[in-house]
Amino acid sequence: MTDMERLGIYGIRSYEHRGEMKNSWTQIGVAFRNDDDSLTLRFDYIPTGGDVRINVRPITRPQVDEESTGGE
């Protein structure tokens, strides 16, 4: 299975910081596409309380700064 077949499940919480609305994204599980194009969801946890939205999208890898890794 490749990363293209696996999707991330994210909990998105809105909050106010210094008078500005912000969103906090936390990966809370993964989704796998089935042969019939449906999704199987596996949650590490399920957010409760507050205004939390759940979003499913491709998993993105953080970009590594070449300067911080010595250009390797």
Judge whether 47 lies within some domain: yes
Judge whether 61 lies within some domain: no
Q: Is the pTM of this model over 0.85?
A: no
Judge whether 64 lies within some domain: no
**For residue 10, what pLDDT is reported?**
94
Judge whether 45 lies within some domain: yes
Judge whether 72 lies within some domain: no
The whole-angstrom separation of Cα 7 and Cα 69 is 28
Q: How many domains does the chain have?
A: 1
Judge whether 69 lies within some domain: no
Question: pLDDT by residue (tens digit) across 5-16?
Answer: 789 999 999 999
Closest CA to 1 of 48, 23, 33: 33
Mean pLDDT calculated for residue range 65-71: 53
User: What is the extent of the structural domain holding 28?
Assistant: 6-55
